[in-house]
Amino acid sequence: MTSTSLNQTLADFQANRALTMPADKLKINVDQRRLLVDTADRSAFVKRGDAVGTFALTEVDEGLLTPQGLLPSGPLVLVFFRFAGCPACNIALPYYNEHLAPQLAGLGATLVGVSPQVPEKLRAIKERHALSFRVATDKGNALARRFGVTYEFDAPSRRLSLKTGTPIGDVTGTGTWELPMPTVVVIDQKGIVQFADVSPDWLVRTEPGAIIDAVRDINLRAAA
């Protein structure tokens, strides 16, 4: 029996939410996502062939993660998401836990979920869904900025965030309005990006199959 795709699951979620979310809040949500789609600088996005270089992430339970520590065991898959309370992230990450993580483990790849949210707040999503893969903080969006995949809340979204008493900087613990766009980056053992997919609309995510295919291609080339 074929499971519902990740993006269909997200579309169903949004359709159901549209029935209950106040119209003004729904419009702000839709307008922000549309603005990002229309204005994102795609030329700056991380792309295949880029050398990743060094970086440091902080896994919520293990501490420091670096390419030098991760890549020797196999390809590395980084999944950038917004924060632990993001509704779409709470659909995408458990979906990846079921439909992606086991397959990547079987291929010798390492999966890491990445958010700018501070570890003590970010840990909640890992524990909530009993995620089997690592979840790590990209402090100050340093890696996401290097990959060209960050954005900031637009003015209506900021006003709503302040009105509800939950400015995103307080939610993430970063003190800023900056978040990463949903992004998947697959890196080979030489530290070169072999697959990159960036979605300015956070209700659109990379399907597991595309990620698995990218890792298989890396393994096949390595074995050739």
What's the confidence (pLDDT) of residue 224? 81
Domain span at residue 89? 6-223
Distance CA 6, CA 12 (A): 10
Q: Give the model's confidence band at 1: pLDDT under 50 very low, under 70 low, under 90 confident, else very high.
A: very low
> Is the residue at 121 inside a domain?
yes
Looking at the domain assignment, is residue 177 inside a domain? yes
The neighbouring-strand residues paired with 192 are: 51
Contact 107, 84 (CB under 8 A): no
pLDDT in tens, 114-168: 999 999 999 999 999 999 999 999 999 999 999 999 999 999 999 999 998 989 9
Domain CATH code at residue 201: 3.40.30.10
pLDDT computed for residue 3 by the predictor: 84
Query: How much is the pTM?
Result: 0.96
**CA-CA distances (angstroms) from residue 95 to 197, 201, 206, 207?**
17, 18, 11, 10
Query: Is residue 112 one of the residues assigned to a domain?
Result: yes
79: its two tokens: 């999944």
Domain contains 1: no
Q: What is the pLDDT of residues 85-129, one digit of tens each?
A: 999 999 999 999 999 999 999 999 999 999 999 999 999 999 999
| Residue 207 pLDDT grade (very low, low, confident, very high; cuts 50, 70, 90) | very high
176-199 pLDDT, tens per residue? 999 999 999 999 999 999 999 999
Number of domains in the chain: 1
Measured in degrees and rounded to the nearest 5, phi and psi for residue 74 equal 150, -175
Residue 46 lies in a domain: yes
- Report if residue 174 sits inside a domain: yes
204 CB-side CA count, 13 A = 10
**Is 148 domain-assigned?**
yes
| Digit-coded pLDDT (tens) for 210-219 | 999 999 999 9
Compute the distance between CA of residue 132 and CA of residue 102 in angstroms, rounded to an integer. Answer: 9
